[in-house]
Amino acid sequence: MSDTKTKESLALLLRALKLPAFALYHEEIAQKAEREGWTFGQYVHHLATIEVEERRQRRIERNLKQSDLPLEKTLATLDRARVPAKVQKQLPTLCEGAFVERGDNVLIFGLPGRGKSHLASAIGHELLRRGRRVLFTATFALVQRLLAAKRDLKLERELLALDGYDAVILDDLGYVQQSRDEMEVLFTFLAERYERRSVIITSNLVFSQWDRIFKDPMTTAAAIDRLVHHAVIVEMTGDSVRAEEAKKRGATTTTTTSA
C-alpha cells in the first residue's frame, strides 16, 4: 500500500474509532516526534493526552449548554469586595466541589439584591469546569416542570433525568408560594436527592419562614431536616447590589442632564 493510501486509510480508521484528535494531529505530532527524537511510546502518549483533553473540553461545552447557567455570572465577574469575609473563606472549598461527591447541599441565604444568584451560578460554573453536570433553574420553573410530568404520569422519569445532574441549583426558593400540589412535587424532588445528589438553594427567607413555601408544618420540618442534615450554610449580608447600581445610574443620569 502506498504512503498516500496508508495515510487515508489511517484517517478513516481513527475516525471510525472516534479518535478525532488522533486523526487531526497525528501527522503534525509525528513530524515533531521525529525532529525531537521521541520514542514511539512518547508519540502515542502525547496524542492520547491531546485526545483526552479535547474530549474533556467538548464534555464541558456540552454540559454548559445543558446547564442553563447564566453565562455572565461567573467567578471572574463576581465582585469579591461585596462578598462577606466568611463567604470568601468558604468559596474556594465550595468551588472545588467535594460537597458534590458527598451529596451535600449548599444553602445560600440573604435579602434581595445581595448577590445570592451570582454566587450560586459562579459555583456552578466552577463545578462544570471540574467535569460535573449542573442544572440552574428558577425554583418555580422546576416546580412547573415536575407538575407537568406528574400530570402526564411521567414524574418518575423526570426525576430520573434530574438525577443525572450532580448539582441542581434552585434559584429564588423564597419567591415561590406553592399550592399543595406544587409543594408535594418539590418535596418529592428534595427527598429523592437526599444524601445522594446535591442541591444548591438560594432563598431570601430564613428557615422560620419556610412554612410560607411548604404550608404544612410537618412537611416544612421534614424538608428543612433533609436539606440541613448534610449542608453548608452561606449567608450573603451587606447592602443591595441592585439598589447601589440603581443609585449609580441615577447619579450618572443627573450628571449628564446637568451637563
pLDDT at 26: 83
227: phi then psi, degrees, rounded to nearest 5: -70, -40
- Cell 441592585 identifies what position? 242
Residue 247: pLDDT band (50, 70, 90) is low
Quick one: which of 243, 244, 259, 191 has its CA closest to 219?
A: 191
CA distance 187 to 183: 6
Q: Which residue has the higher pLDDT, 18 or 193?
A: 193
Domains in the chain with CATH codes? 3-66 (no CATH), 68-243 (3.40.50.300)
Most confident range, picked from 25-39, 40-54, 159-173: 159-173
> Over the stretch 66-122, which tens digit does the pLDDT of each residue have?
999 999 999 999 998 889 999 999 999 999 999 999 999 999 999 988 899 999 999
- Cell 474530549 identifies what position? 55
In the predicted model, is pLDDT for residue 146 greater than 60? yes
- Cell 447590589 identifies what position? 241
Q: Which residue has the higher pLDDT, 68 or 211?
A: 68
Would you call 254 helix, strand, or coil by DSSP?
Answer: helix
Characterize 15-53 residue by residue with b for buried, 16 or more Cβ atoms within 10 angstroms of its Cβ, and e for exposed.
eeeebebbbbbbeebeeebeeeebeeeebeeebeebbee
> Over the stretch 164-186, which tens digit does the pLDDT of each residue have?
999 999 999 876 666 788 888 99
